[in-house]
Amino acid sequence: MTTVPASRTASPEPLVGAVATTGLTVAQGAALTVGAVLGTGVISLPALAAAAAGPASLLAWLALILLSIPLAATFAALGARHPDGGGVSTYVRRAFGGRAATLIGWCFYFAIPIGAPPAAGFAGAYVADVLGGGRQTQLVTTAALICVVAAMNWYGVRVSGRVQLAIAAVLALLLVAATAVSLPHATMDNLTPFAPHGWAAVGTAAALLVWAFAGWEAVTSLSSDYRNPRRDITRATAVAVTVVAVLYLGISFATVAVLGDGASKAPLSDLLVLGFGEGARPVTAGVAVLLSVGAMNAYFAGGARLGAALGRDGALPAWFAHGSSAGEVPRRSMAVVTVYSLATLGVVAIVGLPLESTLLLVTGAFTLVYVVGTAAAIKLLPRSTWVWRGAVVSFVATLGLLAVTGTHLVAALVICAGALIWTWVHPDRGSPSTVPDPG
């Protein structure tokens, strides 16, 4: 039987239920989760959904919030029961074996650098609008944000968690302020007719909003970094679901009831102007930067931890395993994520592609992660419990989403092909007999 190198066996993950004196608090974990889910789409998606379905788009927002509850609960339950830096990859390994875990781990890990440029580029576009300089300013801002997020995580998740908590607090305050100062301008006339484009348009709006609720899986790789995973992950997820629901519903309702048909592509900016005047419009650029940094921080933190766990488990070279134990900083994995992100940005800049051109490729990869992750939950969670039923609902919903992803699965399939080649070249690595049982 092949033995595991020392780098992959020296520090097994803490036991489920163990309480650490350091690590992520409930507030920090909730802030990281909110950052992962509450992306830059909140700036533009309310107006796009309203244009597609009118006031009835509010039903699409509500439906997706309700559907996100079992999805969030599923990953929270898995993280509480099996806290490990491998996140979804660990759950898949326990449910379906090493080869499937390698495929899903690669799919998530290598999709993050592809998604970093469009995530940061969205904020870069707002900064360019304020400062001028066009595409050059956008590219420089994008590169700067990638480096800032990498620096935040270079000193460990506790540091990035504290920063994320501050970002989430400021961001929530700004979004609540935008809603509150604009609501006095609301009129019921903007709510009629309620479904001007027919009820089928609600489905169209929901399709647009799906990606506003992605991100629940991003922080599963941080589960072992919580002080008390069994207790705190569930609490942090509950707080995050509540905060995301309140902020999304508030902004979407204000967009419809206040702006009506006059909403621009940046309704948040319009709402701030109504309350504070034209001088508030540049604030939208600041909000966009905070949203980008928040989302990227969560994905970089979870991705770096995942890469280290994959190295520990033999799904990547053992060099990646440095920092894989809870409390350690996976700097090698973080460096790879950062370099690949900047390389993707460089390719996009040289070729002259729009920064958002890689976004759908990333969402296709994440959808595949959702499908296999929820399938693992169905196998691992206690049958006939409410959380198990939520996993079934989540699996069916994400399977439907996968069906409509279509050609955007190309990147995921290419990554999976590379993972398969790795498992064929290294058949003795990542097998259950060579990997420590996390938790």
Range of the domain at 326: 6-434
pLDDT score of 143: 94
Range of weakest confidence among 143-147, 164-168, 432-436: 432-436
Determine contact, residues 134/128, Cβ cutoff 8 Å: yes
289: alpha, beta or left, given left = phi > 0 and alpha = psi -120 to 50?
alpha
pLDDT score of 350: 92
- The pLDDT of residue 211 is above 70: no
Q: How do residues 270-319 score in pLDDT, each as one tens digit? A: 788 887 777 777 777 787 888 888 888 888 888 888 999 999 988 899 89
**Does residue 3 or residue 439 have the better pLDDT?**
439
- The pLDDT of residue 8 is above 60: no
Please indicate, yes or no, if residue 439 is contained in any of the structural domains.
Answer: no
Tell me which range, 140-144, 181-185, 200-204, 319-323, is most confidently predicted by mean pLDDT.
140-144
pLDDT score of 332: 93
Please indicate, yes or no, if residue 117 is contained in any of the structural domains.
Answer: yes
pLDDT score of 381: 93
Please indicate, yes or no, if residue 251 is contained in any of the structural domains.
Answer: yes
**Does residue 379 or residue 182 have the better pLDDT?**
379
If pLDDT is split at 50, 70 and 90, which confidence band does 227 have?
confident
Q: How many residues does the chain have?
A: 439
Match 């830059």 to its residue by tokens: 40
pLDDT score of 4: 40
pLDDT score of 1: 38
Measured CA to CA, the distance from residue 350 to residue 196 in angstroms comes to 44
If pLDDT is split at 50, 70 and 90, which confidence band does 96 have?
very high
If pLDDT is split at 50, 70 and 90, which confidence band does 19 have?
very low
Cβ neighbourhood burial of 352 (10 Å; 0-12, 13-18, 19+): exposed
pTM metric for this prediction: 0.79
**Does residue 68 or residue 11 have the better pLDDT?**
68
Measured CA to CA, the distance from residue 344 to residue 320 in angstroms comes to 20
Domains: count for the chain? 1
* Nearest CA among 262, 385, 307 for reference residue 109: 307
Report DSSP letters for 247-310, one per residue.
Answer: HHHHHHHHIIIIIGGG--S-HHHHHHHHHH-GGGTTHHHHHHHHHHHHHHHHHHHHHHHHHHHH
pLDDT score of 273: 80
Please indicate, yes or no, if residue 260 is contained in any of the structural domains.
Answer: yes
- The pLDDT of residue 175 is above 80: yes
Match 């992100």 to its residue by tokens: 341
Q: How would you label 216-254 residue by residue, b for 16+ Cβ within 10 Å and e otherwise?
A: bbbbbbbbbbbbbbbebbbbbbbbbbebbbebbebbbbb
Q: Rounded mean pLDDT of the chain?
A: 81
Please indicate, yes or no, if residue 72 is contained in any of the structural domains.
Answer: yes
Please indicate, yes or no, if residue 421 is contained in any of the structural domains.
Answer: yes
- The pLDDT of residue 210 is above 80: no
- The pLDDT of residue 354 is above 90: no
* Nearest CA among 401, 239, 218, 391 for reference residue 304: 218
- Tokens of residue 420, six digits: 């398969």
Kindly state the average pLDDT of the residues 348-375. Answer: 84
Residues 6+ apart with CB under 8 A from 170: 290
Range of weakest confidence among 58-62, 329-333, 434-438: 434-438
Please indicate, yes or no, if residue 424 is contained in any of the structural domains.
Answer: yes
pLDDT score of 16: 41
pLDDT score of 261: 77
Give the CATH number, domain containing residue 210: 1.20.1740.10
pLDDT score of 326: 65
* Nearest CA among 314, 262, 315, 239 for reference residue 25: 239
Determine contact, residues 311/319, Cβ cutoff 8 Å: yes
Please indicate, yes or no, if residue 1 is contained in any of the structural domains.
Answer: no
Provide the β-strand partners of residue 24: 226
pLDDT score of 390: 92
Kindly state the average pLDDT of the residues 202-225. Answer: 75
Q: How do residues 129-143 score in pLDDT, each as one tens digit? A: 778 888 899 899 999
Measured CA to CA, the distance from residue 411 to residue 355 in angstroms comes to 16
If pLDDT is split at 50, 70 and 90, which confidence band does 12 have?
very low
- The pLDDT of residue 345 is above 70: yes
Q: How do residues 145-164 score in pLDDT, each as one tens digit? A: 999 999 988 876 666 667 77
Range of weakest confidence among 14-23, 53-62, 372-381: 14-23
